């Protein structure tokens, strides 16, 4: 294959196929039986050996490791132990994401069985020289092609997932109708921490083809080290290649080059960058660029929804790991500008309705339920598993960790808490919904809904820049972020807003903020 030639479509590229595969495994196999290992154990051993040789040793904080399309979890769970008698026990936070619910259930089952086998010293699972690591595991149902995750990992792994997705000819509407094989490299690169690693094993692409696809401009990955191809499965003529990449670190070196959020439409158009402290950054950056630099809060990019719907004002909300609500309007020159703002103050003073806030409210609600003598429900069990504790009664000591240094307390600990939000939303949308999850989601939504209502009322009291009257019918509510893009959460949020008499004429959930902004600019230019 060359020039990004696409593979012929196959049932292996469909979600329906993998749902059926994992449903059948659940019906036919014993609990904890991992079943077939794609590419065989040899590829798992080689990827695990690469990680052992290249990952830094943990020192106080766990390394975050993600497997994309985790399936039965065999690769991810290889990190429960280290095959080196001289190694020190390591700390890992392991995450498996798969779009098949059956795969996630299988991964959880295999993890449980694997931990029991390790504890019992089962020689089929653990060698006498293996070192047992300190690991927490979480398993998520997620769509890596469409979902936007407001978090990153130190190591992201793929063993055959890209191969399977490349066999799909179903375009991704949310990504401009491009094929999964074209979207996936960009999506997976976002999951890698700056300076972190992406490790991929493929049987459908050569090493050169993998490198070409994952080092394209804008992807943000660089080829790390060569790794020879090797035969697998005893099938003559078939090879597997394993390739490692690093995520490029952002470097502010004043060399006159920067990666913009969106390229200027015309040569004289301003270059838009999204950073904090707008005035200071504008003054610092302007000398380094040939054109005018306008520095804006990233929430302003959601203003593309105004241009797309051709409305003069609205409220933009970002609710991912953090949160902010911004009132936006189109000024007399046709530019989207910030008219008001609430939130965005960080997790100590704000972040209402964010992943962190949802998780915080869930922990508090679970502890309240425990103190009231209520039996543990599904969410309480998920919280206990997340923190590696026997019951939610021990959650406070995990959350209020006074031994953490300031950097860990403000970064790693915040992310550790935020990581609970998918479990909270999942329990909130289950049938019947978990009462603790319902309490948590409503508690998190309430202050964010209040911010939206206050912004809307504040702007409704003012005329538009052209002097005309604002109405809710000519306003848009636009939002992005891993939490607010969840339909059930967004519905709860907007119902609270509606109860206060605020109902927007248009609702615009956004998965790709930069793309939405660019589409808004295009829509505006076509109306001129």
DSSP class per residue in 50-84: HHHHHSPPPSSSPEEEEEET-TT-HHHHGGGEES-
Positive or negative: CA dihedral 365, 368, 374, 375: positive
Cα atoms in the 13 Å half-sphere on the side-chain side of 508: 28
Cis bond leading into 432, ω under 30°?
A: yes
Q: What is the pLDDT of residue 499?
A: 92
Tens-place pLDDT, residues 125-157: 888 888 899 999 999 999 999 888 889 999 999
Q: What is the pLDDT of residue 7?
A: 62
Cα separation, 243 vs 47, in Å, equals 9
Q: What is the pLDDT of residue 286?
A: 67
Query: In order along the chain (528 residues), what is the average pLDDT of each group of 10 residues?
Result: 56 66 55 47 85 84 92 91 87 92 89 90 81 92 89 93 88 85 90 91 87 83 58 44 81 40 43 52 66 65 69 85 84 78 78 87 89 86 82 73 59 78 89 91 92 91 86 87 86 92 87 66 58
Q: What is the pLDDT of residue 241?
A: 85
CB 179 within 8 A of CB 145: no
DSSP, res 270? P
In the chain, the domains with their CATH numbers are 11-247 (3.40.50.150), 271-341+466-518 (no CATH), 355-445 (no CATH)
**C-alpha angle 512-515-521 in degrees, rounded to nearest 5:** 145
Q: What is the pLDDT of residue 94?
A: 96
Residue 153's nearest CA partner among 207, 96, 100, 98 is: 96
Q: What is the pLDDT of residue 403?
A: 59
Cα separation, 322 vs 345, in Å, equals 9
pTM of the model: 0.49
Q: What is the pLDDT of residue 255?
A: 39
* Buried residues in 354-375 as b, exposed as e (16+ CB within 10 A): bbbbbbbbbbbbbbebbeeeee
SS3 496: helix
DSSP string, 306-354: HHHHT-SEEEEEEESSSEEEEEEEE-TTS-EEEEEEEE-S-TTT--TTS
Q: What is the pLDDT of residue 98?
A: 92
Q: Which residues contact 430 (CB under 8 A, 6 or more apart)?
A: 378, 437
Pairing label, strands 336-343, 323-330 = antiparallel
Q: What do you get for the CA distance between the two ends of the chain, in Å?
A: 44
Q: What is the pLDDT of residue 150?
A: 82
Q: How many residues belong to the chain?
A: 528
Q: What is the pLDDT of residue 4?
A: 61
**What angle separates helix 378-387 from helix 435-460, to the nearest 10 degrees?**
90
């Amino acid at each position: 294959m060359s020039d990004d030639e696409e593979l012929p479509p196959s049932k292996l590229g469909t979600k329906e196929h993998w749902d059926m595969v994992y449903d059948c495994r659940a019906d036919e196999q014993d609990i904890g039986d991992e079943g077939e290992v794609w590419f065989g154990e040899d590829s798992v051993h080689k990827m695990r050996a690469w990680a052992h040789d290249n990952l830094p040793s943990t020192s106080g904080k766990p390394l975050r490791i993600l497997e994309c399309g985790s399936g039965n979890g065999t690769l991810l769970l290889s990190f429960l132990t280290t095959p080196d008698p001289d190694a020190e026990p390591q700390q890992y936070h392991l995450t498996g994401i798969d779009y098949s619910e059956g795969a996630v259930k299988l991964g959880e089952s295999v993890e449980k069985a694997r931990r029991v086998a390790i504890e019992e010293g089962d020689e089929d699972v653990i060698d006498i020289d293996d070192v047992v690591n300190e690991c927490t595991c979480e398993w998520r149902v997620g769509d890596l092609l469409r979902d936007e995750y407001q978090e990153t990992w130190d190591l992201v792994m793929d063993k055959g997932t890209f191969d399977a997705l490349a066999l799909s000819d179903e375009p991704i509407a949310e990504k401009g109708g491009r094929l999964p094989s074209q979207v996936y490299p960009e999506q997976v690169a976002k999951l890698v921490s700056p300076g972190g690693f992406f490790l991929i094993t493929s049987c459908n692409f050569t090493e050169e083809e993998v490198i070409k696809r994952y080092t394209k401009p804008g992807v943000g990955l660089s080829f790390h080290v060569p790794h020879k191809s090797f035969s697998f499965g005893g099938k003559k003529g078939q090879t597997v290649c394993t390739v490692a990449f690093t995520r490029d670190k952002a470097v502010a070196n004043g060399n006159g080059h920067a990666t913009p959020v969106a390229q200027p439409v015309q040569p004289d158009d301003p270059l838009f960058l999204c950073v904090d402290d707008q005035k200071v950054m504008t003054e610092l950056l302007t000398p380094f660029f040939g054109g005018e630099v306008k520095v804006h809060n990233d929430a302003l990019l959601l203003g593309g929804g105004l241009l797309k719907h051709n409305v003069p004002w609205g409220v933009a909300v970002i609710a991912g790991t953090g949160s902010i609500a911004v009132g936006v309007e189109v000024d007399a020159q046709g530019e989207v500008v910030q008219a008001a703002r609430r939130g965005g103050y960080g997790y100590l003073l704000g972040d209402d309705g964010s992943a962190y806030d949802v998780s915080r409210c869930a922990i508090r609600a679970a502890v309240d339920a425990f103190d009231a003598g209520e039996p543990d429900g599904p969410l309480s069990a998920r919280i206990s598993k997340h923190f590696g504790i026997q019951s939610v009664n021990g959650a406070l000591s995990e959350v209020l960790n006074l031994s953490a240094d300031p950097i860990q307390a403000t970064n790693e600990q915040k992310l550790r808490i935020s990581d609970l939000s998918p479990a909270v939303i999942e329990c909130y949308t289950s049938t019947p919904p978990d009462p603790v999850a319902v309490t948590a989601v409503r508690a998190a939504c309430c202050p964010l809904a209040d911010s939206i209502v206050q912004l809307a009322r504040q702007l409704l009291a003012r005329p538009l820049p052209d002097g005309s009257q604002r109405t809710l019918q000519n306003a848009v509510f636009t939002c992005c972020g891993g939490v607010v893009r969840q339909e059930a959460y967004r519905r709860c949020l907007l119902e609270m807003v509606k109860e206060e008499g605020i109902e927007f004429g248009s609702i615009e959930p956004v998965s790709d903020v930069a793309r939405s902004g660019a589409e808004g600019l295009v829509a505006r230019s076509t109306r001129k």
